[in-house]
Copies of this chain bind each other. A is one copy, B any other.
Amino acid sequence: MEHGVFPGESVTAPDVPDEVIDRYRELSADIASGVGVVSTRLRGRDYAATVSGFLSVSYDPPTLLVSLYAEARIAEAVLDAGSWVLSLLPARLRGTANWLASPGSPLEGLLNQVDYGRAPETGAAVIEDSIAWFEVRTTQVMTAATHQLIVGEVVSMGRRADADDESDPLLHFASAYARLGR
């Protein structure tokens, strides 16, 4: 049933005004998502960062996408390494999500306080108790505005959670962490 044209706030200027960006920040915060950690290993060093911009692209072949801020250390490391791991965090690992989301997190000892194992093919960190994890080799990269969209094929995968944890993912919505209703 049609109700006419909705009053939207239009973006008309080629340079986007601050108030439009602020409004977009506010509205796009309502895109609910799971929370994961993207990690990679490069020249013997571990890189890891909390992400909420990722999705499953395809089942055949199993293909994932992660969106990373192009100037972030993790983006550079993932692109250099050519491979990465996505660990899906359970609700109880909110502390890990906070730690690895901090732009000021140290390069040395980043994972000292985080329980993790190693992915079989590349040795990148897999967060212990992830509800699922995927080890991925990058196949395509696209620069879009401020971000790199990194697509890859899954080369190994698994689950680290007990059956009970499985159904309780950490979520992100309205600029805060959240969990599923029961």
**Could you tell me if A11 and B154 are in contact, using CB atoms closer than 8 angstroms?**
yes
Point out the residues of chain B lying under 8 angstroms from A57, CB to CB: 53, 67, 144-147, 149
Q: Is the CB of A59 within 8 A of B151?
A: no
Q: Which residues from B are CB-within-8-Å of A132?
A: 27-28, 30-31
How large, as a class, is the contact surface on chain A?
A: 35 or more
* B5 lies within 8 A of A120 (CB): yes
Q: Is the CB of A32 within 8 A of B30?
A: no
**Whole-angstrom distance between the alpha carbons of A56 and B142 in the complex?**
15
- B65 close to A117 (CB less than 8 A): no
How far does the alpha carbon of A58 sit from the alpha carbon of B70 in the complex, in Å? 10
Q: Show the binding face of A for B, using Cβ within 8 Å.
A: 1-11, 16, 20-21, 23-25, 27-28, 30-34, 52-65, 67, 88, 111-121, 123, 125-126, 128, 131-135, 139-140, 142, 144-147, 149, 151, 153-160, 166-167, 169, 171, 173-174, 178-182
Most B CB atoms within 10 A — which of A23, A31, A115, A166? A31
Contacts of A118 in B (CB 8 A): 2, 4-6
What is the minimal beta-carbon distance from A124 to any residue of chain B, in angstroms?
A: 11
Bound-state Cα–Cα, A113 to B1, Å:
6
| Contact, CB under 8 Å: B144 / A63 | yes
